Each structure stands twice: as C-alpha cells, then as structure tokens.
Chains A and B, each alone.
Chain A
Amino acid sequence: MRLALTEEQEMLRKTARDFLAEKCPMKFVKQMEESDTGYSTDLWQEMAELGWMGLAFPEKYGGGDMSFLDLAVLLEEMGRACLPGPFFSTVVLGGLPILDIGSEEQKQEYLPGLIRGEKILTLALSEPGYHNYDAYSVKLEATPDDDNYIIKGTKLFVPDAHIADYLLWVARTKPEKGITIFLTDAKIPKIKYTILKSIAGDKLCEVVFDQMPVLKANILGQLGQAESAVRKIIDRAAVGKCCEMVGNIQRVLEMTIDYAKERKQFDRPIGSFQVIQHYCADMATDVDGVRLSTYQAAWMLSEGLPCSKEVAIAKAWAGEASQRVIALAHQIHGAIGVTMEHDLHFYTRRAKAGELAFGDANFYREIVAREMGL
C-alpha cells in the first residue's frame, strides 16, 4: 500500500498544472462558457500534442500506453483548472468504451484520429424523465428495417454533442429489446442538437434522432447485450467526474485558506479565528475523503478489479462532500464569493454539475445497499 503518486505521476501533474495555469486562466474559461462551441481548437491541438488524448490508449493506436490511474491525475488537474471543452466526452465517454468493446476494425478507424486531436466524440445515454444512470432505464428504441435500424427519439444532457464528429448512443434493439450501443457519425441532418443552458456553462445538449437509419455495422460491441458494457462506461465516467471534483474542491480549499490568511477583520486575519479554522479543517477532511475514495476506485478500475461498490462510495461521497466544501468556502469568502468578480463561482457551478453527472448520492447509496446485500 502506498497512497501517494508515483514520481511519473507527479511529473504528469506538474506538467499539466503549469500548462493549464498558462493556457486556461479564468478569463478563458469565461470566454468558452460564452462561446458557441465551448472550446478552443488551438488549445485542443496543443493538448493532443502533449499526448493527453492518447494518454490511456495503447501505443499501436498512437497512444501513450499509460493507465486509467494516470488519466485520473490529468482529470484532477483539468477539474482544478475548470478546463472547458470536450476532453472528458472524447476520451472518457467516447474513446475508452471503443477500446473496451469495439472490434479491431473500429478501434483502427476511430482511435488514431481521436488521439491526434482530429476527432471529437461523445456519449448519448440519458433520456427525458430519466433519473437513473443505468442501462435498464434506456427506453430509446432501434427498430429493425431490413439490414438497418431506424431510430426515433431523444437523448438528453449529452455533453459536447453539438461539436462531436462521432456519437456513441445507447438504445433498445427490437424485437428483443436488449441494450445495444451504436457508434455513428454525429454530423448528419437526421440528428438535431440544441445546447441547453446549464449551471456550469458547459455544453450539455438535447439530441433528437429523427427517423435516422443506422447500419448494423455501426453496432459497438454485442447486439442486445451491452448492459455490462454500459455499466462499465458509467462506472468509469462517475470516477472520472470524481477526479475532476477532487481537483475542483482541492483548489477551492486552497483559495479559501489563502483568503482566510489575507482577509482581516477586527484587526486580525479571519483565519486566526477558531470557527474559521474549524470550517477549514472540515473542508480539508472532506477534500481528503473524496480524494482517497476517488483514487481507490480509479486504482481498482485501472487494475481491472471488480469495484461497483467502491465506485458507488466514491461518487456518493464526492457529490455530498463537495457540496459541503463549496458551502463553507462561500461562507468564509463572504460577499465577494457570490459575485462574478471573484473566481469562486466557476467552481461552485461546476461542483454542482459534477454532483449531478452520472448519478448523485441517492442513486449510488442504493448501489452500495445492494452491494452490502441489503
């Protein structure tokens, strides 16, 4: 047992932190929130050149042959910087599932372009009125039509769909109504995108399939038997979100401590008051609890160990603990923290989005209960 990063991971962290500090200041984050695409193609290319998109993919597709745990370090730094753009969608939701269950032909077709930063991918999973992140809740039907399927229906909260080149989506394939994942071109007239105005200013979309025909060759993995593949995708996405949240609340803790040391009232730094110190101690305890449970789950995913329970624990805790951290950060920052002048709101808005993404604490508590045999 060694609960510290390796030297290599420390280097990756430092490179990422320095790079993002320079390229992704809060001014840039704000610009991206206000832009239509939500990302900068220049920065995207630079990230590809650093090998970030390919980090966790095998060398034979042009990747860096590193692990999901290494990717976790990178995601934490991205969360810390509030990095806008489709990295998570492309790599965690798009690329890694292809690596999991795609045919060799599909991997050759999609992964090298993704790794070079030429293609953007995302995953369409949630549906209207759909609260649970599991395969069983998928209602969208794919109806057979000769050698094709016809798709009609709506997917919701699909990140970065409006700029995606390829779309993974999950449907029930008739007549058996089993769960199937499809991988198709995203930029076709039969798919309509509407960007939703979300709390984090990220680009969550409504995706409407209008009688779209799809070839059977576009199936990713097994026809009608994708439950476990979807479970794995969601587990990884949940842990990936936790990593971003670790970066988020770690930065919030640091900002808050700095503020508490500088801000004077009653002729002394407010950080010298015990009540503020105890708030900060509570924040640090939550940050470390989220960090440890997140990295435990990331490590287990990375090692290929069964970890539904650990993933559920990490995401349930991250969701609630991060809200406590944010609430105390606001309390300590006082009124400046609730203005647009100060940077705290970027973190506050993203922490809430992170809590809701891929299942909240209630959802994961039920998974923990099942894993406990209750």
Chain B
Amino acid sequence: MDFSFTEEQEKFREEVRQFLEEEIRQGLWEPTCDSWIQAYNPEFTRRVAQKGWIGLIWPTEYGGQGRSPLYRLILTEEMLRYGAPAGCHWFADRQVGGAILSFGTEELKREFLPKIAKGEAYFGVSMSEPGAGSDLAALQTRAVEDGDYYVINGQKTWTSCSLLAHYFYMVARTDPDAAKHRGISEFIVDAKAPGLSRIPMIDITGTEAWSDLFFDNVRVHKKYLIGEKNRGFYQILHQLDFERSGMERIMGNYALFEAILKFSKENKLSQDTLIRNKLAQLQIEFEIGRLLGYRVASVMEEGRAPNWESAMSKAYSTEFEKRLASVAMEILGPYGQLMPGSKLVPIRGLASHSYLGSKGYSLQGGTTEILKNILAARGLGLPSS
C-alpha cells in the first residue's frame, strides 16, 4: 500500500500547476466552479493540446502520450483545483476518446483521436431522451440502415457540451424488435449534419448547460458506428464507468471551498466554534471523497476498468458538494443569496452559483439512486428479486 505519487508524477503535477498559475497570472481566465463543463475556451484548449495534455493516456500512435492513468488523475485534479476552462475538450478526453479506443475501428481511431488530442474536435454527449433518463435503455431515437448509411430520427435531451461541439456522441435504437438493452448502438454524428437542429436549455444557474437535439432524417455513414451494432448499451455502461471515474465532483467546486476558507479566516468567522466545526467537517469529508476518487484511479492503474468504485465515488462526492455550498451560504448569511455580478456580492458569487448548480450533479451521469443500485448489485452482490 502506497499513498504517495512518484517523484516523476510530482514533477508533472508541478508542471501542470505552473502552467495554470501562469495562465491565471496573465489574466487569460478566472477560476470558476464547474469550469470543466461550463467554461469553454478554445484558446485554452489549444494551449493544453500543445502541452500534449489531451489524450494523455492514449497510445502515441493516435496522438496520445501513452501515460498511465495516474498522470491523467494528476492533470485533471489540478485543472479542477484551478477551475480551468476546459469545457471544449473535457468530454472527448474523458470518455468519447476512450470509447473509440475501446470499441472503435482502426479507421475511427485514426480519424478522431489525433484531432481530439490536437484540441480540434470537441464532442458533446447525447444519450438521454425525454422518456429515457435513468432508464436509458428505453430510448426511442431510431437509426435505420439505408445502404452505407444509417438514417436517424428522434429527440435527444440534456446534451452536454453542445454549444461549441463539432461532433456528438449519441446512442440510438438499431433493432426495435430485440429486448430493449439489446437493440442499441453508438454513433458519432457531425454537428453540422443536415437535419440536425438544436434548442439550448438554460440551467438553474442561468448557464446554457445543455441542448435538446432534434434528428430529422440525419444520415450518418456506417463507418461512424462505434463498436458492434446492437451492443451499444453494454459499451455505454463501460463508458459511464469512465464518465464517473474522475475527480470532477469532489474537485469541481474547489474554487468555492478555497474561497470560503479564505473568507472565513480573513473575517475572523472561523473563530466561532460552530463555523470552525463545520469547516473542519467539510475538510474531513473532502479528504474522504478525494481518497474514494484516488481509489478509482488506483483500480485503473492496476489495469482494471472502474466499476462500482466510480459509482461510489460520484454518489458520495455530489452529496459533499451540496453540503459545501450550503455551509458556504450559511457562513455568508444574507450575502450568500447574492448572485455573481451583484453589488456587494462576496467571493464572486461562487456560493450561490454552486448552491444552485450542485442540485444537478447528483442527477447527471447516473442519479445517486441509480449509482447506489449499481453499487448494491455489482459491488455487494445483492439480488434483483
């Protein structure tokens, strides 16, 4: 058992920190909460790509650096710590690239992975539908074969990262007669494809967080099918394990954590016994979440795919970020309700933003209830009936 990073890994962490601190020093962007999914900055993504930090763990032949998962853990932990605007490349780097790598054809790998790694291909993720949320396998969007093409019709919702996306990773039903888990396939769709339209959806913080996507006879060449036809659902499960595998939830609001600690110290609020106690409890809970996240990385480092471990980590961490935001609001008192940009707003409005934003994260990427089902069934072996 070893809880430390190697000297080389620590050096890499230092390099990432220096890069990000220099970016902030130059005023290129300001740290925010949930920057990985809400802050899009193509210039930043290009500079990250130049460092070789997109697709860090992919094989070099596809534009990656061939590093081990712990390096990506370090990289993403620091990106999140500094609230860096990584929205353009985050999804492609985290899960779409991995899905292509795991299940895609050689042609698909060669077409997309180098482009993602160069920071030139942004992906949105399009899975849910109005009638298919937690029960994803109930999705109704159809993909029908027509010669060398699939013709896609239907509506997707909660499509994340859709604002600047060049491509959408999406799932559709390819066999309506099979059992619902056995008739689903994964596709890559060009965002500019004829027949594809988008209506943005504004989340509770006022951010354009998602879109509804409408597919009206969208034609997709067969080569853009990822993996095996009708095996999509099983591939998705694998991909979702990776979606949940990172430090996003425990670190996503680190900017707020840091700011409220500083605020409490500067205003001598932390001398109050109750406030001290609450902040210390947050620190303890943060540390537990960090370790649960590290455990997932440690599983990946051993060469295993994360499974119930990432479900546990995400379910825990989304509850932590809700408590973090609540405690911050309590400490700020009536000032806590002030929104970013308001006169008198303390700590740049991070608290109110995070308070509102944190309600959604225990829903997306698997609701806490679904994650506990996964943990109970796959991790603890409890029966389904």
Contacts and interface: CB of A to CB of B under 8 A. Distances in A.
A369 B281 CA distance: 9
A284 B279 CA distance: 25
A300 B298 CA distance: 18
A288 B2 CA distance: 16
Nearest to B382: A271
Interface string B280-299: 11011001100110110110
A288 B292 contact: yes
B1 A295 contact: yes
B191 interface: no
B302 interface: yes
B1 A9 contact: yes
Q: How large is the interface on A (under 10, 10 to 19, 20 to 34, 35 or more residues)?
A: 35 or more
Interface stretch (B53-61, B160-168, B372-380): B372-380
A227 B276 CA distance: 25
Contacts of A276: 382
Given A268-B385, A274-B373, A369-B276, A3 B284 contact: no
A368 to B, nearest CB: 4
A3 B298 CA distance: 6
A293 B316 CA distance: 15
B312 interface: yes
Interface of A: 1-6, 9, 69, 257, 260-261, 268-269, 271-272, 274, 276-278, 280-282, 284-285, 288-289, 292-293, 295-296, 299-300, 303, 310, 313, 316-317, 362, 365-366, 368-369, 372-374
A71 B80 CA distance: 36
25 contacts: A1-B3, A1-B297, A1-B301, A3-B294, A4-B1, A5-B1, A6-B1, A257-B380, A261-B381, A261-B383, A269-B383, A271-B383, A277-B373, A281-B375, A281-B380, A284-B375, A285-B292, A285-B375, A288-B292, A293-B287, A299-B3, A362-B277, A365-B277, A369-B277, A374-B271
B220 to A, nearest CB: 37
B315 interface: yes
B5 interface: yes
Contacts of B51: none
A365 to B, nearest CB: 4
Contact of A313 (B287, B297, B312, B372): B287
Given A3-B294, A261-B383, A295-B1, A277 B376 contact: yes
Given A293-B291, A366-B276, 7 more contacts: A1-B70, A2-B1, A3-B298, A257-B380, A277-B380, A295-B1, A365-B280
B280 A366 contact: yes
Nearest to A321: B288
Most chain B Cβ neighbours within 10 Å, of A257, A268, A289 = A289
A269 B379 CA distance: 17
A2 B2 contact: yes
User: What are the 9 closest A-B residue pairs judged by CB atoms, nearest first?
Assistant: A277-B376, A281-B372, A374-B270, A292-B291, A369-B280, A3-B298, A368-B280, A365-B280, A281-B375
Of the listed residues B271, B288, B373, B379, the one surrounded by the most CB atoms of chain A closer than 10 A to its CB is: B288
B384 interface: yes
Nearest to A305: B4
Given A257-B381, A269-B383, A1 B279 contact: no
Given A3-B1, A280-B380, A369-B270, A289 B280 contact: no
Interface string B300-331: 01100000000010011000000000000000
B379 A284 contact: yes
A317 B284 contact: yes
B340 to A, nearest CB: 26
Nearest to A277: B376
B261 interface: yes
Given A257-B381, A257-B382, A288-B312, A1 B294 contact: yes
Nearest to B273: A366
B369 A278 contact: yes
Nearest to A365: B280
Contacts of B301: 1-2
A296 B297 CA distance: 15
A277 to B, nearest CB: 4
A61 to B, nearest CB: 25
Interface of B: 1-5, 70, 261, 264-265, 270-271, 276-277, 279-281, 283-284, 287-288, 291-292, 294-295, 297-298, 301-302, 312, 315-316, 369, 371-373, 375-377, 379-385
A284 B2 contact: no
A285 B315 contact: yes
Given A1-B301, A313-B284, A369-B276, A280 B376 contact: yes
A228 B70 CA distance: 36
B362 to A, nearest CB: 13
B298 A1 contact: yes
A296 B276 contact: no
Nearest to A300: B3
A296 B280 CA distance: 18
B312 A285 contact: yes
A119 B277 CA distance: 42
B295 A288 contact: yes
Contacts of A293: 287-288, 291
Nearest to B278: A365
Nearest to B291: A292
A369 B269 CA distance: 13
Contacts of B375: 281, 284-285
Contacts of B383: 261, 269, 271-272
A368 B280 CA distance: 6
A59 B123 CA distance: 60
A1 B5 CA distance: 5
Nearest to B376: A277
B161 to A, nearest CB: 29
Contacts of B371: 281
A272 B264 CA distance: 46
Given A313-B284, A374-B276, A260 B1 contact: no
Nearest to A282: B372
B194 to A, nearest CB: 44
A67 B381 CA distance: 34
Nearest to B299: A3
Contacts of A69: 1
A272 B385 contact: yes
A4 B2 CA distance: 8
B264 A374 contact: yes
Contacts of A313: 283-284, 287-288
Contacts of B291: 289, 292-293, 296
B3 A3 contact: yes
Nearest to B275: A374
A1 B381 contact: no
B279 A369 contact: yes
Contacts of B3: 1, 3, 295-296, 299-300
Given A1-B2, A9-B1, A366-B280, A289 B292 contact: yes
